[in-house]
Structure 1
């Protein structure tokens, strides 16, 4: 079987590594001039893993898309719309399956990533998302985990689960695409808050953060028409260990470094996602106290300590 991976950052490279490991013939694409692609072409490795020589590297997008019917996309979520326009311009997408391996929401619209890609490449497109817990650093050491693949087309989700399952990753198929996408995106925002607590040495508050975080997001998912119980699955609550506690979590590290005044240069998707969540909060009339607190700290530059204390010392109410 063949697979194309578009995006050669941390997770894109992992998906190429993984697909090759379980027996797929893989092409990995990166943008022309990408330092990530140049590093892989020169040394076949990055700071996370080493790629087998069988994985073909290219900066030719048209050739990469033509190579396989299963197209895995792993890029910055905010770049998906312009990238979708590039894909649509190729004019050769019939019969392709697109698997989005990013977690985010579009700033300005609050749209889910499947909605964004569908708008750009056509409503008939077969699109799924692949999300859930795990870190590249653990997977490449052979540490197994569970993940979820969801699509509005259940047959596609089941087909992809069968194609990519292995002893390293046990897959479940998601029945609620909306809840899976919102939950996966929002857990990064909760991760920012967890890092801020770590920065102050308030890690014991993470239990409360987890309990209240799942609750507020369940209300939003329900208001948007999804299943509120989805937030308690692998895409959100199931990913909390990897996002709220792990040293590998970019979102947690961003929050901690912000409190400590240390510059953080890697991608932390929660920084962008919280903007979209606040727009959805207003649109659907759902209060999101944790997300609002993170937004006030990160984007309005309000006092982190004051905001966090106000959050956890809110007026007494029933749980």
Structure 2
């Protein structure tokens, strides 16, 4: 059996996952469109733009040739920005075959269609969505590439596919659990980026720990509410892909979403924030998708709604906080509709 895996593309998380695979003595091809980045990885074993100061395994070889990257690979790991997922999946199609495991670790939606990334990939490959595996959980690339203990979850509608992904990645510092709730794992990974933006914004405004704790807690309720209405298991949001990923993304300076929110809270305009970040901030795109999803499913997402007003309608962040604090009285347990509750308890 082949001992090769291909990782698409060479951002921070893609490079970190490629390093995990290289540490399992696998031949790893890391695909990039950037010739300069390819040369840097292959000759200096560095990816300075995304993971400065980190020495990469010599088993990790970069290439700009997609066909060469995936040829002979038993697994392909897609770690593209959400905006590029369909394009890359379409390019992969001529080289994909039924025996090739496809794992994606992109936390976002296709904005135009509001589709999950696994759906997008399956459409382009022409396969059942159950063939795709989602990898998610609390995992900063900067820590994974330095072999800090990390635990993630892989999910697929087909248990055997998730188990293949578990075996592919699991090593002494990278522990992998399986989950059958693909929808929940994928939604949790995408939607928590919105709450992380809000947490950074709260810190940028100087609102302290009380405000951030409330934001994370009510944010989790908001994510769960929309998730179960879309068919997810509510217990998934209490796991690694849910509260685990939410905590790590909303409380760490490693998090792009937290950093972007912090700068917005300091009063910097969105254009300036994106320019200074220099990398994709998935939470900004996801906020736009969540706004549309909230309307489609008629589910209240007050935090996402206020962030949408801040990001795309110019609302002052302090005014957004005042709007959240001034909402009508609610019961804390109001997470899902009675119909959905009965669905999960019968």
Q: What TM-score comes out, normalization by structure 2 length?
A: 0.87
**1:157-172 correspondence to structure 2 within 5 Å:** 157-172=162-177
> Are 2:116 and 1:103 aligned?
no
State the match for 2:159 in structure 1. 154
Extract unaligned runs of 5+ from structure 1: none
State the match for 1:312 in structure 2. 325
Quick one: structure 1 residues 108 and 52, their matched pair in 2 at CA, closer, same or farther if it must change by over 3 Å? same
Aligned counterparts of 2:196 and 2:142: Cα–Cα separation in 1:
18
**1:1-319 correspondence to structure 2 within 5 Å:** 1-31=3-33, 33=34, 35-47=36-48, 48=51, 49-88=54-93, 90-124=94-128, 126-204=131-209, 205-260=211-266, 261=268, 263-319=276-332
Quick one: structure 1 residues 146 and 61, their matched pair in 2 at CA, closer, same or farther if it must change by over 3 Å? same
Q: For residue 236 of structure 1, give the secondary structure of its aligned residue in structure 2.
A: helix
Aligned counterparts of 1:312 and 1:6: Cα–Cα separation in 2:
42
Offset from partner CA, 1:27-50 (integer Å, 9 cap, x none): 11111x355334324422023222
CA contact (8 A) 2:90 2:125 kept: yes
Report the Cα offset of residue 230 of structure 1. 1.2
Aligned counterparts of 2:122 and 2:139: Cα–Cα separation in 1:
27
Aligned counterparts of 1:227 and 1:316: Cα–Cα separation in 2:
27
CA contact (8 A) 1:3 1:26 kept: yes
CA contact (8 A) 1:81 1:117 kept: yes
Quick one: structure 1 residues 94 and 66, their matched pair in 2 at CA, closer, same or farther if it must change by over 3 Å? farther
Aligned counterparts of 1:203 and 1:127: Cα–Cα separation in 2:
41
Quick one: structure 1 residues 8 and 251, their matched pair in 2 at CA, closer, same or farther if it must change by over 3 Å? same
The runs of at least 4 aligned residues of structure 1 exceeding 6 Å deviation read none
How many residue pairs match? The answer is 317
Aligned counterparts of 2:142 and 2:127: Cα–Cα separation in 1:
36
Offset from partner CA, 1:253-300 (integer Å, 9 cap, x none): 000112222543222100001111111111111010111111111111
Quick one: structure 1 residues 36 and 192, their matched pair in 2 at CA, closer, same or farther if it must change by over 3 Å? farther
Aligned counterparts of 2:81 and 2:280: Cα–Cα separation in 1:
8
Aligned counterparts of 1:51 and 1:264: Cα–Cα separation in 2:
23
Quick one: structure 1 residues 37 and 312, their matched pair in 2 at CA, closer, same or farther if it must change by over 3 Å? farther
Report the Cα offset of residue 302 of structure 1. 0.9
Quick one: structure 1 residues 245 and 34, their matched pair in 2 at CA, closer, same or farther if it must change by over 3 Å? farther
CA contact (8 A) 2:29 2:60 kept: yes
Extract unaligned runs of 5+ from structure 2: 333-346
